[in-house]
Amino acid sequence: MKKCRHLVFVLGDQLDEHSSALADFDSDRDVVLMAEVAEESTHVWSAKPRSAFFFAAMRHFAEALRAKEYSVDYRRIGTHDFASLVDVLADAIKHYAPDKVVMVEPGDWRVEQQLSAFAAARQAIKLNLVIREDQHFMCSRTEFAEWAKGYKRLRLEYFYRMMRKRHGVMMEGDAPVQGRWNFDAENRGAFPKGGPKPIPPTMRVAPDAITIGAIADVEAYFAEHPGTLDAFAWPVTRRDALSALKQFVDERLPMFGEFQDAMWTNEPFLYHAHISAALNLKLLNPREVIAAAIAALEGGRAPIEAVEGFVRQVIGWREFIRGVYWLEMPGLRESNHFNHDRKLPAWYWTGDTKMNCMRDTIGQTLKYGYAHHIQRLMVTGIFSLLAEVAPKDIEDWYLAVYIDAVEWVELPNVAGMAIYANGGRFTSKPYIASGQYIKRMSNYCSGCRYKPEVKTGATACPFTTLYWYFLDKHEEMLAGNPRTSLMAKSIAKMSVQDREALRAQAGVTFENLDKL
């Protein structure tokens, strides 16, 4: 047994050298514990790019700590028999007999509950488990809960304004820069018919020996999991993450705002930042990300609509959604406002569908572990809502397939926004649209066997059929909401015969979800 003072347990989404868990680290008396365990890749059917990203980033982080002469006990997948994080922790406690186990708040309610139960079961041996506040975030869980007390319904805009005032972000005294809080209206552009102009490429990093090893282990131990690793080239170190941030700000941020909602076939990256995974694993700090964008604005290198739209995602939505997650759990995971119970179509795991929009979005997701926010919300998300998929099925899919997926950010986005499972706790309406929206914002509909303007018949677009069926089924609810009342008026104009034909077409669509 090697006695230590602090056993510092670092989870896979806590790769921050300035973490509060490491604040008083003593190289002579403390040990960092990190582990790759099967449960974190199997509690949902984690796609290969996601597992490889976590493993590669964790291994690089461990090496960075060792370079600072930290003592690191790193348990690689396949080198131990422990299935879960708490099993690894129990073994390490036996080995090191620490005075304290120190860590940062987990990002998953499930993991926090496991750790709390673990500590409670060991009260007899007086296990001293110290969970410190995650200072990566700009609004703590406690601060968010206090802010939320003042609102019956939580709304991003109120939170966003509070955060900008509190942190002095894009402010001139008490007023927002240029007199406006929000430039969202300028950020909804679609590409012209010819598609986007040549786009500065996103940063891709050739895998080094450590990353190649992580990829090999994922292929060995999770061979049957979805996704491919042939194109894996994500930044998995802090140095490369900083380079990716700089490249985005210098080259793509100026055009990001106008086209942040646009989509185009075989263009998976477009003008987006592609740093959410690095942010969520703590390789980047939100403060430095915001500062870099504002510096571009102040230096005349990016317009305010692009910078404000990007900053809103970081200091606004990202912080807001984390606060909602911890405020609403565990009920958020159990919510099912519409009582949907259909199975997730099998092609969500393969991309093997005749719908161009879904095939392109899911195909790039399985290849890269990435899709941008409109592809997630308005393509894969909306379809699962319209198809009446059981919330847990689609929530698990999102957590499994995206490299930036940690439950605090994934679950509220899906349950609260994409599928309205929590009944509008922090959104003012269900986000629904027909194939016509996808046609307007992309070229996906060009050459598709389904026609976005057609509701019924052999060429009816499943999005359009199910959108109108949703209006038919939930007309009363939609009529009672000012933000969806026009939708209700649209379905109210439909004749009895057309409604019957629509319902029949929806029935056929539901029966054939796996064959679309």
Whole-number pLDDT of residue 121: 83
Stretch (H or E) spanning 334: helix 331-334
Are 142 and 323 within 8 A, CB to CB? no
Cis before 98 (ω within 30): no
Tens-digit pLDDT profile for residues 20-69:
999 999 999 999 999 999 999 999 999 999 999 999 999 999 999 999 99
Identify the weakest region by mean pLDDT among 54-58, 120-124, 269-273, 377-381: 120-124
Q: Is the dihedral of CA 445, 448, 454, 456 positive or negative?
A: negative
For residue range 479-492, list pLDDT tens digits in order.
999 999 999 999 99
* Mean pLDDT within 209-214: 98
The DSSP code for 188 is: -
The tokens describing 242, both together, are 């900083």
Q: pLDDT tens, 412-470?
A: 999 999 999 999 889 989 999 999 999 999 999 999 999 999 999 999 999 999 999 99
What three-state secondary structure class fits 24? coil
Q: Residue 60: what pLDDT? A: 98
What is the per-residue DSSP string for 274-308? --HHHHHTTSS-HHHHHHHHHHHHHTTSS-HHHHH
Rounded distance between C-alpha atoms, residue 386 and residue 394, angstroms: 12
The whole-model pTM stands at: 0.95
Residue range 117-144: mean pLDDT, rounded: 88
pLDDT tens-digit map of 263-318: 999 999 999 999 999 999 999 999 999 999 999 999 999 999 999 999 999 999 99
Residue 125 pLDDT greater than 80, yes or no: no
DSSP 8-state code for residue 389: B
Residue pair 479/486 in contact by the 8 Å Cβ criterion: no
Provide the pLDDT for residue 123.
Answer: 67
Q: With b meaning 16 or more CB within 10 Å and e meaning fewer, what string describes 18-27?
A: ebbbbeebee
**Segment 10-25 mean pLDDT:** 96
Report whether pLDDT(172) > 60: yes
**Beta pairing partners, 74:** 34
Least confident of 51-60, 86-95, 180-189, 366-375: 180-189
503: its two tokens: 């319902």
Measured in Å, how far apart are the chain's first and last C-alpha atoms?
59
How many other C-beta atoms can be found within 10 angstroms of the C-beta atom of residue 38? Answer: 17
Site of tokens 């430039």: 183
User: What is the spatial distance between Cα 121 and Cα 173, in angstroms, rounded to a whole number?
Assistant: 52
Structural contact between residues 27 and 69, judged by C-beta atoms closer than 8 angstroms: yes
